Amino acid sequence: MTQQELLMRATQLGLKTLDRTVPSLAAAWAESIFLTPQHHPRPSLEEKIWKQGRPIELSSGNALRVYGSGRRLVFVHGWESRGSAFADWVEPLTSQGFQIALWDVPAHGDSPGKRINMVAASRALQKDLQEWDRTEASPLYALIGHSFGGCTCLFSQTTGSLRPEKTVTLGSPSNVRGVITRSADQIGFSPRAKDLFLERLQKTTGLRIDEGDFRLQGSRVPSKLLVIHDKKDKEISFQEGLELHSSVPHSGIHATEGLGHRRILRDNDVVKVVGEFLIG
């Protein structure tokens, strides 16, 4: 058992003990963990591509790297990942005449911060893209997001100001409540602690839980959507991909099998399917 696995088990045991004695403290501790991503360095191949990008200076200090020219595509990575996770997408899509923007979500990669949530990430994305557009004006053609990043892309449209022509989600959940509930279930929280955990997250983020349910908000997504999801995804079930597809007008779905939650980003056929969607 690794040191990280031991720490995780010890944390779960501590949370379950607090749940039995002071559930409010258990909920507060769980909230802190839930909103604090672990930092993972870029693998060498990602680092190489990342350094080839042109850095955009933003007042937020968030990291944004740009490649090529043409219609603007902005990529938003998943939880505890980084923009360079889309490194394999740069060459194929720039060669098709697109400008690629890889963005590090706050508290991830080279961007500053320690805690983040979908609401704050959505606001940061909108602010950074608006600032970039003022210096290098170009309409936003598409948003592409993986997992948490896909939710951020959708939320930036249903409650925010972003209006891309097209959106792609990869392995993204259909609703935020499900993500929170799964986290509480993994801890083994009692119903009382689970309710307190949800209440704290809503208060901290300012999120009304229905706003993060794209099964209810899907009709407010203005762009054409392509949902890509693996049938064997163990982190976000394929059913949630089907729910996104059925809830958002002008949407299509592409199912993969055997790529799971993360390898879906490194599959050449997936990149090809997205390129065809973007060009079509």
Residues 6+ apart with CB under 8 A from 76: 103, 105, 121, 125, 143, 144, 145, 146, 149, 150, 152, 153
Residue 1 has pLDDT above 70, yes or no: no
Strand partners, 99: 72
Averaged pLDDT, 225-245: 97
Confidence of residue 7 (pLDDT cuts 50, 70, 90): low
Half-sphere exposure of 119 (CA within 13 A, CB side): 15
Which residue intervals of the chain are DSSP H helices?
A: 3-21, 23-34, 44-52, 87-94, 118-135, 148-158, 176-187, 191-205, 214-217, 238-247, 268-279
* Backbone φ and ψ of 200, nearest 5°: -65, -45
Task: Say what the pLDDT of residue 148 is.
Answer: 97
Calculate what percentage of the chain has a pLDDT beyond 90. Answer: 81
Residue 2 has pLDDT above 60, yes or no: no
Confidence of residue 27 (pLDDT cuts 50, 70, 90): confident
* pLDDT tens per residue, range 93-119: 999 999 999 999 999 999 999 999 999
Please state, rounded to an integer, the average pLDDT across all residues of the chain: 93
CB 65 within 8 A of CB 245: no
Residue 176 has pLDDT above 70, yes or no: yes
* pLDDT tens per residue, range 55-78: 999 999 999 999 999 999 999 999
The C-alpha atoms of residue 236 and residue 122 are separated, in whole angstroms, by: 20
Amino acid in the structure at residue 35: L
Domain 43-175+213-279, classified CATH 3.40.50.1820, yes or no: yes
Task: Identify which has the larger pLDDT, 184 or 140.
Answer: 140
Task: Say what the pLDDT of residue 225 is.
Answer: 98
Calculate what percentage of the chain has a pLDDT beyond 70. Answer: 95
* pLDDT tens per residue, range 116-166: 999 999 999 999 999 999 999 999 999 999 999 999 999 999 999 999 999
Confidence of residue 3 (pLDDT cuts 50, 70, 90): very low
What residues does each domain of the chain span? 1-34+176-210, 43-175+213-279
